[in-house]
Amino acid sequence: MEGAGYRVVFEKGGVYLHTSAKKYQDRDSLIAGVIRVVEKDSDVLLHWAPVEEVGDSTQILFSKKDSSGGDSCTSEEEPTFDPGYEPDWAVISTVRPQPRHSEPTRGAEPSSPQGSWAFSVSLGELKSIRRSKPGLSWAYLVLVTQAGGSLPALHFHRGGTRALLRVLSRYLLLASSPQDSRLYLVFPHDSSALSNSFHHLQLFDQDSSNVVSRFLQDPYSTTFSSFSRVTNFFRGALQPQPEGASSDLPPPPDDEPEPGFEVISCVELGPRPTVERGPPVTEEEWMRHVGPEGRLQQVPELKNRIFSGGLSPGLRREAWKFLLGYLSWEGTAEEHKAHVRKKTDEYFRMKLQWKSVSPEQERRNSLLHGYRSLIERDVSRTDRNNKFYEGPENPGLGLLNDILLTYCMYHFDLGYVQGMSDLLSPILYVIQNEVDAFWCFCGFMELVQGNFEESQETMKRQLGCLLLLLRVLDPPLCDFLDSQDSGSLCFCFRWLLIWFKREFPFLDVLRLWEVLWTGLPGPNLHLLVACAILDMERDTLMLSGFGSNEILKHINELTMKLSVEDVLTRAEALHRQLTACPELPHNVQEILGLASPAEPHSPSPTVSPLPLSPTRAAPSPPPPADTAPQPDSSLEILPEEEDDGADS
């Protein structure tokens, strides 16, 4: 759209201001508006204005998610999120007015109370842009100006953050910070300024202006061909300098530290080694590790054998109690018997707590009633094609129900969440004892209980770690997924939530879990299992021209078609390939358990790991207590962590 002296190059409706800091916004705190990028005279403006009164926030309808096929809350940029089960998420459907186009002006008097929120800022005044974390709510952007102030957060109820950033990149250079992958530092398209910066950094042998020119024209090839020394430069910059040493770089300003950024070339991984898995551990081999008093001997060797080959079916009932922490690897046979007696008494005391609740009491205990209803519903559809649970009056279903209700007494804070029945079912199938199965289930939940927390911070962190591993192992696949709006890897959500329970045949799940429970060859092997599956499917995904919906459909159709031995073999090979790399980024080493987590420089969120960074020889000292906040830490209105939006 063009007018006298201006031209609208981008426009997106459904961009809201949330004027309340409450966790849940009411209709009076939401202001619907339109965001535009406008070329006016010799300047480029970012302009937000509320829609006219006919379509203001008083017409917002609060309802359940609309499944009629409309685009009320999704767009082609944001594929439907499938967590693998059926939560009843409440979302907001909005009225779609047609905003009236008008020329954006600065300093105009507002015609309504909502009009007072309108703003217009020159792109040259921007200092940084922060994106929301991947999640299940709306995506938002926060813009910080050169003066250090922040504009109201822009919440994209219909998607569009990626499209806006792509348009802004025509006029600005957006550099992602390694300290916060959601923070973009803003630089003007000024080749002379960039050339001068590169000259001071001494990163290139050739003429810096030529590098910048090629970088602006073809950033990818120039990055990987000419920026090969950036990693070494930043590694040296992180090293403490000797006293008296001078630096060519000017010191940072004293008022507030500017988060840096770096351009990382591909990590040079060596060849992937060949891995051969061994045979399962037999009962005879297990008995050779049992000492005179029933104490297990040479436990590390035994765990290595379980990792490389799994367990024979007849041994699982005994060995799983050790793998899940119910029985101690160092205990004697008599100590184990005493421990089982104690835990049996403890279990039935907890079971009695809910068994003794009368129907009259339960009517006044909505929490217990809700847990009971949810458990009954989930148990009735858990592994019903397995002979151990088939049939309407199967006693196995009653045991599942009782164990899960007792777990609600054991862990009041967590209670029961959909998906837990999937984790208990194989354990009860193998152990076939109510008390032992309960305590083994508790041991498993110690490993994965963060997956079921309401905030989903643990799941978000795992998806971030998975993305980081995949970025090192297969950058082209990551770039492809990102180009198809699948870079958040949300299609892996169910894999990580219930440890691939619905991806493999039932008996293969038993083999997979016992291998993962060994904790070998390091933590987070389940993430490498996910990488192995994606590695096996990379050609199909990349060569078939799949879009985001086709990618999600293809991943879902892998259910029951994967070979657990092939996946485990590939996952172990990926682990060996990564650990053999001498230049493995430090945060990847943290994921694999090869390095201790670096001391954070600031109280930044721990939802996802840092972007790729070079191996650090020594951690930098923490900032002093009086360090000034980051430029965008003075935000006044932002959603709580669990309400951050997703924009795939």
Residue 44 lies in a domain: yes
Looking at 449, 480, 496, the residue that finishes a domain is 449
State residue 631's pLDDT score: 37
Q: Which of 386-390, 524-528, 608-612 has the lowest mean pLDDT?
A: 608-612
State residue 611's pLDDT score: 38
| Spatial contact of 122 and 104, defined as CB atoms under 8 Å apart | no
Write out pLDDT tens, residues 582-591. 999 999 999 9
Residue 351 lies in a domain: yes
- For residue 127, give the H/E element and its range: strand 126-131
Residue 603 lies in a domain: no
Looking at the structure, do residues 513 and 572 belong to the same domain, yes or no?
A: yes
Burial of residue 117 (number of CB atoms within 10 Å: 0-12, 13-18, 19+) = middle
Looking at the structure, do residues 297 and 333 belong to the same domain, yes or no?
A: no
Write out pLDDT tens, residues 4-63. 677 899 999 889 888 765 545 566 678 889 999 999 888 899 999 998 633 333 333 323
Rounded to an integer, the average pLDDT of 507-519 is 98
Position with higher pLDDT, 644 vs 454: 454
The whole-model pTM stands at: 0.57
Looking at the structure, do residues 382 and 459 belong to the same domain, yes or no?
A: no
Q: Is 159 left (phi over 0), alpha (psi -120 to 50) or beta?
A: left
- For residue 139, give the H/E element and its range: strand 139-145
Position with higher pLDDT, 91 vs 643: 643
Tokens (6 digits) for 568? 């485990």
Q: For the chain, first and last CA: distance in Å?
A: 28
Looking at 406, 432, 449, the residue that finishes a domain is 449
> Alpha carbon 458 to chain centroid distance?
8
| Spatial contact of 585 and 472, defined as CB atoms under 8 Å apart | yes
Question: How far, CA to CA in Å, does 276 sit from each of 155, 167, 310, 526, 563?
Answer: 51, 50, 13, 19, 15
Whether 214 shows a pLDDT value over 90: the answer reads no
CB crowding 517-535: b at 16 or more within 10 Å, else e: bbebbeebbbbbbbbbbbb
Write out pLDDT tens, residues 85-99. 333 322 222 333 344
Phi and psi of 92, rounded to 5°? -115, 125
Looking at the structure, do residues 358 and 490 belong to the same domain, yes or no?
A: no
State residue 274's pLDDT score: 96
- Which 3 state secondary structure label does DSSP give 612? coil
> Alpha carbon 132 to chain centroid distance?
12
DSSP assignment of 173-224, as one string? EEEE-SS-TTEEEEEES-HHHHHHHHHHHT--SS-HHHHHHHHHH-HHHHHH
d(C-alpha 137, C-alpha 316), whole Å: 42
Tell me, what CATH number does 331's domain have?
1.10.8.270
Phi and psi of 179, rounded to 5°? -80, -20
State residue 645's pLDDT score: 44
Whether 595 shows a pLDDT value over 50: the answer reads yes
Q: Which residue has the tokens 């089982």?
A: 340
Tell me, what CATH number does 131's domain have?
2.30.29.230
Residue 541 lies in a domain: yes
C-alpha triplet 546, 548, 549: angle, nearest 5°: 90
Question: How far, CA to CA in Å, does 573 sit from each of 275, 333, 504?
Answer: 6, 37, 20
Rounded to an integer, the average pLDDT of 271-275 is 96
Looking at the structure, do residues 370 and 474 belong to the same domain, yes or no?
A: no
Looking at the structure, do residues 148 and 179 belong to the same domain, yes or no?
A: yes
Looking at the structure, do residues 408 and 505 belong to the same domain, yes or no?
A: no
State residue 391's pLDDT score: 86
Rounded to an integer, the average pLDDT of 629-634 is 35
Domain tally, the chain: 3
d(C-alpha 432, C-alpha 567), whole Å: 28
Question: How far, CA to CA in Å, does 102 sit from each of 39, 167, 618?
Answer: 14, 20, 56
d(C-alpha 239, C-alpha 256), whole Å: 21
Amino acid found at 204: F
State residue 621's pLDDT score: 42
Rounded to an integer, the average pLDDT of 128-133 is 85
Question: What proportion of the chain, given as a percentage, has pLDDT over 90?
Answer: 51
Residue 411 lies in a domain: yes
Looking at the structure, do residues 320 and 423 belong to the same domain, yes or no?
A: yes
C-alpha triplet 593, 529, 579: angle, nearest 5°: 35
Rounded to an integer, the average pLDDT of 177-182 is 75
Residue 239 lies in a domain: no
Whether 261 shows a pLDDT value over 50: the answer reads no
Looking at the structure, do residues 9 and 147 belong to the same domain, yes or no?
A: yes
Range of the domain at 415: 313-449
Looking at the structure, do residues 469 and 572 belong to the same domain, yes or no?
A: yes
**What is the Cα Rg of the chain in Å?**
28
d(C-alpha 188, C-alpha 206), whole Å: 23
40 forms beta bridges with 6, 43
d(C-alpha 510, C-alpha 514), whole Å: 6
State residue 413's pLDDT score: 93
State residue 240's pLDDT score: 44
Q: Which residue has the tokens 């090969």?
A: 228
CB crowding 27-43: b at 16 or more within 10 Å, else e: eebbbbbbbbbbebeee
Average pLDDT, the chain: 77
Whether 294 shows a pLDDT value over 80: the answer reads yes
- Whether residue 521 is preceded by a cis peptide bond, meaning omega within 30 degrees of 0, is yes
State residue 428's pLDDT score: 98
d(C-alpha 216, C-alpha 173), whole Å: 9
Which candidate, 535, 532, 492, places its Cα nearest to that of 512?
532
Rounded to an integer, the average pLDDT of 583-611 is 68
d(C-alpha 111, C-alpha 108), whole Å: 9
Looking at the structure, do residues 172 and 278 belong to the same domain, yes or no?
A: no
Looking at 449, 483, 506, the residue that finishes a domain is 449
What's the pLDDT band for 358 if we cut at 50, 70, 90?
very high
Alpha helix (H) residue ranges in 411-524: 420-431, 434-448, 457-473, 475-483, 493-497, 506-517
d(C-alpha 51, C-alpha 33), whole Å: 5
Whether 231 shows a pLDDT value over 70: the answer reads no
Rounded to an integer, the average pLDDT of 64-68 is 36
- For residue 579, give the H/E element and its range: helix 564-579
Whether 66 shows a pLDDT value over 70: the answer reads no
Q: Which residues contact 88 (CB under 8 A, 6 or more apart)?
A: 64
Tokens (6 digits) for 492? 């892996």
| Spatial contact of 535 and 471, defined as CB atoms under 8 Å apart | no
d(C-alpha 462, C-alpha 558), whole Å: 21
Write out pLDDT tens, residues 461-472. 999 999 999 999
Looking at the structure, do residues 36 and 163 belong to the same domain, yes or no?
A: yes
446 forms beta bridges with none
> Longest Cα pair distance anywhere in the chain, in angstroms?
94
Whether 322 shows a pLDDT value over 80: the answer reads yes
What's the pLDDT band for 188 if we cut at 50, 70, 90?
confident
d(C-alpha 478, C-alpha 455), whole Å: 26
Q: Which residues contact 219 (CB under 8 A, 6 or more apart)?
A: none
d(C-alpha 165, C-alpha 519), whole Å: 41
Residue 109 lies in a domain: no
Residue 106 lies in a domain: no
| Spatial contact of 135 and 644, defined as CB atoms under 8 Å apart | yes
Whether 199 shows a pLDDT value over 80: the answer reads no
Tell me, what CATH number does 520's domain have?
1.10.472.80
State residue 72's pLDDT score: 36
Whether 218 shows a pLDDT value over 60: the answer reads no
Whether 172 shows a pLDDT value over 60: the answer reads yes
Q: Which residues contact 283 (CB under 8 A, 6 or more apart)?
A: 312, 314, 315
